[in-house]
Each structure stands twice: as C-alpha cells, then as structure tokens.
Chains A and B, each alone.
Chain A
Amino acid sequence: MSELADALADLNEDEVRKLVREKIDAGVDPMAIIVECRKGMDIVGERYKSKDYFLSELIISGEMFKEAMAVVEPMLKAGKQVEPLSKMVLATVKGDIHNIGKDIAATLLTAAGFEVHDLGIDVAPGVIVEKLSETGAPILGMSGLLTPSFESMKETVEAVEQAGLRDKVKVIIGGGIVTEQVRKYAGADAFTNDASEGVDICRGFAKEGNK
C-alpha cells in the first residue's frame, strides 16, 4: 500500500496534505492520486468492518478525502474524469429535513467511486423520478430519520414503478430507525442503519448491474 493511502487510513491529516502537495508538485497524474486516496478509504472501510474504527473515523477520513479532492480534482485535464463505479441518486425524502446520515453516506459513496447525484433534503417523489430518468442511475438511496418518512419512501418507490423504472433501479433505504419491516413496507430492495454497510450494498448493486 502507498504512503498516501496509509496516511489517509491512519487519519494523519498533516501527512496527507504534505504527500498530496508533493505529488502534485512532482507532476504525478492527478488520477493516480485519487486512486491512492480511494485505497486509503478502502482500508478505513476494512478497519470499520473489523470494529477497529467507528463512525467517527468514517467522518474524519471522509473530511480528509474531500479536502484532498478539492486540491486534486481541479488538476484533472478537462474532459478526463474518473470512470464511476455506478451512478446513483441520493435524497432525504419528502417531509424530512435531516441531512447528517445522508451527507455521510454521500461522502463515503463518492470516495468509493460512485457518481452521487445528491438531491438534498425534503425531496418529493417526482423530483427523484425525474433525476433517475435524467441520469439513468440504476441505484436510488433514500434517507429518513422520522416515522413519516416511511410513507414518503413508499410513495417514492411507487412513483418509480409508475414511471416504469422499477426493474432498472435498485432501491436502498437508510436511517436511524429503519428496519426490515420498514424495507418491506416501503418496497425497497435493501435497508441499512450503517453508512459503511450501505456502501457495500451499493457496490453489490453496481456489480449486479455490470453483469
């Protein structure tokens, strides 16, 4: 593993800043720097799974990743973008304005290589369907913290069905109080209370989609 990936995985902010700057100054391909940072995030994910890391380390590493990307991405040559693992649409559903869980998920999904179309909070079913149609994203992530969000999630899945997109879109729901019972009620394909697990589920969806 590279020095940069290790420094990110060890949450060493100063070292990551220094290494990113050195690599840019040395003319290293920005894409290679992004790949190294993603490897660091993968190690963080592994440490989270083995319970050596917690949500706090996901947050810290996510902030470090975002800071590094803010420096590196402008260096990418015009038109040269990293090929995403998959596109996905993400939103906190209608009637719910909580953003913390969704934002953490968005950061981790982006770091994992997803092209995340984050629609924000209090997003109506029609807006979600429109974005799915526009982007062709095969994954929809919906977040909600309150019980009324269950109904909004259900209505959104129904709207996706009515738009004829349901067989093309995998749906995952997340939030502090979602359960298997809520997943069934909403008609989603998966649920999670855990942002890192959510990334793994989306990776699985992307893999299925690429077969």
Chain B
Amino acid sequence: MIRETMTPGERVEAAIKLEPYDRVPVAPLMDVMFPCRRKGMTVAYGISHWREGFQAIVDIFDEVGGWDAMILPGYSLALTPTVASGVTVALGTGDYRFPGQDPAVSENSQPQYAEREQLTAEDYDEIINLGWSGFAEKHRERFTPFSPDQIIAWTQRQTEHYTREGETWAERGIPSLCGAIVESPLMFLSTKRSLTAFTMDLHRIPDKVQAAMDAMVDGFIQGAIEGARLTRIPGVMLVLERGGGFYYPLKIFERFEFPYMKKMVEAFAAEGLLTVMHFDQDWTLNLPYLTDLPRGKCVCELDSTTDIFKAKEILKDHICIMGDVPASLAAIGTPGDTEAYCKKLIDVVGDGGGFILSSGCTVPADAKFENFKTMIDTAKGYLPAR
C-alpha cells in the first residue's frame, strides 16, 4: 500500500484542481445495482426500497475498504421541488422500464430506456414562447398523471433522500461531487424527441431547434444551481451523450451543443459549483474544444468509448479526467486484466496529476466483485516508478 498523506477529500480536490496528490484517487460511479446483487437482494428490490438499497452501497464501500469520493451520493435524483422539475423527470422516466415491473426487464437488470417521441416537432414553438418550465407546467397532464401537489411532495422527498445520502458520506469523510443532475438542451431534446426525429429536426428546422434551446438553457442552469443549494453539495453532473462526434459533425456540435455546455459550466463555476461532465459515447473529436472551459472547474468523466489517452494529451494541465474501466472488462474480464488496465491508466492518464480512476459509466449490475475490488486496490496500492 502507498503511504497516504492526504484525506480522500484533499486527494480528490487536488486532482480536480490539477495539483499534486499522494496517489491517484478512485471514485466509481456507484449506482444501487451492483451493490444489491452483491448483498443478495434483487435490483428491483433495491430500487424500490431506498433505505436498504442505499445501505447496500455503504456496505460494499466498507467491504472493499472504502474509496475516495461519491460522484453522485446515491441513486435518488436531486430535484428542485417544483412542478416543472417533476414533469421533467416524468418525461425522462416515463419510458424507463424498471426491473421487476416490465416482463422484458428482469429483476436483476438495470432500468432500461425505451426511447420514443414524447415531444413533437410542434412543441418547439411553445417551448420557445414559454421556456421549459412554463411548457412543462402547462402540459403536465401529457407527461404525468400526478397532481402538482403530489409532484412537489415527491420531489421534496427525493431531495431529502439525496441530502441524507450526501450527509452519510460526509460523516465518513468522503466527499460527494454532484448535488444536482442536469442534461444539456441537446441531450434533453434528443432523448425526448428520439434520436431519429431530433436528427431530422436538426436537418429540417435547425433555427427552431436553436431557438428552443435558447429558451431552455437558463432554466436548466437555474434549476441545477437551486438543486445543488438544496442538497448542499457544491457540484452538478452535466449529462452528455448525443451531441458528440459519435453522432454529429462538428458543425452541429459547434452550434447546438458546445455553446450551451460552455454557458452551463461557466454559470456553475461562477456559483462555486464543480461540473462533472458525464460523457457517454465517443467524444474524442470534440476534446480540443474543452480547453475553452474554465481550468480546474470541471471534470471530464469518460465511459471508455472516448480515447482517454488522447484526452490526457489534449486536456492535461486544464481539466481533470475521470474514468474509464470499461463495463465489459468489469463484467467479463479477469482481475489480471483489470489490474493491467488500471495500472496503464494510472501510469499514463495519472501522470502529473489531474486524474481520478473510475468505472466507465456506472458500475454494471453484473460486474464481478473481484474485478471491482481490483480497481479500488490498484489505485490504493500501485505507485508508478517515476
């Protein structure tokens, strides 16, 4: 083991600020799925029983001797208690198929998203006129059967759970990085219109899409800032997938994604909030743009499809990189494979600081425990010979 001279909080903060650390910090993106299976309960049970599900996460933390940070403190969504935020979540979860509730999704599966066109091309005009919150409140009944009072009560409870989760980690000296979650306008519209319909919108009615994004972004920023204030965790997870080079050429990214990402990151930084940019899919092409974001104020979280070594070349001395033990390696690899990959990450991406070892996206439900433990142990025990 490496002789540790920093607390987990100091180590993670040093990585984010691109300052020296005693060792590479390790912080998996830990959902309830993998801990539930480890504890012998179904994922379906863990999701529907908050106390037991969250305790399973704490137990696995103890079982492996701990790690350095929670990216999200648990699995409750932190929400500003407004009707609009409840509707927004209903839009996102309406087409989630939950384990045990859908015959196609087994009790031990993670929730799965069946994407369909929940918003129509005609909705853009009203979003432009009303902003997102106004639109969501006006059309509440299209997206959720619940009354405003029920929605507000639910979002308050979610936020209370989230806050309690953060406090549990704080009591253990473990920082939680994100007090709220938000999507970029592109990510939001793409998943609610569906990938194909939204891509056709960008082709057919680009000005209208841009006007809708302009009308949405300030509300998204404000909601995330309020969410982080409520949970008292000074950071925001910005969920990004659809705007990157895997899907779109740079001319689309430059017009419909990056200006909004930048505005959001800068607004959060101005409020003293960290942004963890959660990048799903391959964003290698887009990496050079990230040097235009404020230095040391955000984290680039990669899922193993973006070239993390290229990210290091481009972003070193500017943005902390987090990732990216592949889900496939966690599920079907061996401890030897995992150790070799983690060492390579520590050697190359960890060189000179600015790196947090993590799972590539969420630790999968069927990750092998020995692989997961190897990732944690390698961060704690492997010191590159430099």
Contact = CB atoms under 8 A, between A and B. Distances in A.
B331 interface: yes
B332 A182 contact: yes
Interface string A57-77: 101100100000000000000
A194 B285 CA distance: 16
Interface string B349-379: 0000000000000001111000000000000
B295 to A, nearest CB: 29
B115 interface: yes
A146 B109 contact: yes
A95 B104 contact: yes
B305 A185 contact: no
B281 interface: yes
B112 A146 contact: yes
A63 B249 CA distance: 18
A150 B105 contact: no
Nearest to A52: B249
A53 B203 CA distance: 13
A98 B111 CA distance: 11
Interface in B332-356: 332-333
A96 B328 contact: no
Interface in A36-72: 53-57, 59-60, 63
A147 B109 contact: no
Contact of A147 (B199, B245, B280, B328): B328
Contact of B328 (A60, A103, A104, A179): A179
Contacts of A162: none
A11 B203 contact: yes
B112 A97 contact: yes
Give the secondary structure class of B's interface: loop
B115 A100 contact: yes
Q: Size range of the interface on A?
A: 20 to 34
A55 B248 contact: yes
B383 interface: no
B248 A56 contact: yes
A16 to B, nearest CB: 13
Nearest to A122: B104
Contacts of B109: 95, 146, 148
A100 B241 CA distance: 14
B170 interface: no
B331 A176 contact: no
B293 interface: no
B332 A56 contact: no
A11 B202 CA distance: 13
Contacts of B248: 54-56
Most chain B CB neighbours (cut-off 10 Å) among A13, A60, A176 = A176
A185 B332 contact: yes
Contact of B330 (A54, A56, A147, A193): A147
B110 interface: yes
A142 to B, nearest CB: 15
A178 interface: yes
B199 A60 contact: yes
A8 interface: no
* Nearest 9 A/B pairs, CB to CB: A147-B331, A122-B104, A147-B364, A59-B199, A56-B248, A54-B249, A97-B104, A55-B247, A97-B112
Interface of B: 97, 102, 104-106, 108-110, 112-115, 195-196, 199-200, 202-204, 245-249, 252, 280-281, 304-305, 326-333, 364-367
5 contacts: A99-B115, A121-B104, A148-B364, A177-B326, A181-B333
